[in-house]
Chain A
């Protein structure tokens, strides 16, 4: 099993290296000139020329790639071209906010999804199952911003329970922060719930066909005991996989929710810099997003390996 784990980890590492190459090549072939993007319509030719020289964008690509990767290994992501800010510092803050939001959305949505999945297996094809499926499928089918505007209108504007703008800052207490992010958390829970719940339901149902489940039922266990004690542990691998995918989505896919609720996270930060052709920031953000995906997927695989007795105790 150790060999399998090491193999899987090194595969993740190789993927990471490959993604640095892809990100670098991808951002290098982007059309457009940073200096012009920064100055926009108000660029005078003099100002444009001065800015271009100052930025020194004329080094060969290979040199820039290795100095970039070298910098990353030292924890230095460079400085943003547009405002000269240190990228590591700005990203740390933004990433912290994104993780904070993702954490609370996950804390609520993952147990909820698995519980609902188990419930719908327990009451398979009866009204609780149908109700759960209908509601979760409806929320996943609506675009995020529609759900966002809907809860904003209802809860923030009409009822005035929580703020419509989810700004958080260091000076706020945890309770204040949670109050501020209530709406985006609700929206994110709606968005990721269905996927995980459906997968839990399908994976458990798949196992429910097995002979040992029949044995468990025959020896007199209740429906809930069979599902939680016998079916769930054997369905864990696909569930963990889909949970990890959704966790990754909570980190890298929340641009729209961040914009709607004015939440200062990574998504908004990346969009701002893409539109300004700020290549170092786009590269850094791309790398972080790729790392999150690779990390969570590797974790899912590792959990699947560890949770599988046949892999844990090879003959």
Chain B
């Protein structure tokens, strides 16, 4: 009897959970249905499905957002930033974990302590310095992402190194491999799980970042969030267009989430708990 009651309770909870999940998704529902309405359709009501179904908003928003171009910029900047963050942070995590000296400990501490500094506290001098050397461009931005992203990444790699035996390095060195060869052919492949985590955590942040690109990039090189901001400013109160634009901007993220949801949730869990 106790079992039956528990089963029933679980069933009720499940129904509650599913209703809550629907409520959670409702903002996206409202965005999508209204993106298919005409301007008048939205004026007549935002809750129901479109009476006069139109695809035109998407065509216009796609063109106005220069979507392929901003998508390309976003992919390029995020992709290159992730590559250099993974490469350089794993090298540093390896070096710091294998060197047990006091100096190594201090360097590690500085990287961890730097995580305390909020972006707004360094933003103004940062932009001024990069402006003076003419580096307010995509290359400068990618370098900035290395600077902001390396602390947490080094921390994660450093932690993962404790599980990798030192005898592996020693064997490779005896066989005549250089330090870098040892790292690249022996250690780096073993760090792959943590590299996935590092890639996911940094992608979520860099892909969505707005403030830093808005200070660094010109409109011609705008990423998706930056372009979205300009676009939205231009079409305030024209919700049919704005909502279609927002829907388009979200699609790449949803596709990514669809294919890698397990890795994403595991990665976020790992990054947060450590």
Decide whether A and B are members of one complex.
no
Q: Give chain A's interface residues, CB within 8 Å of chain B.
A: none
Q: Give chain B's interface residues, CB within 8 Å of chain A.
A: none
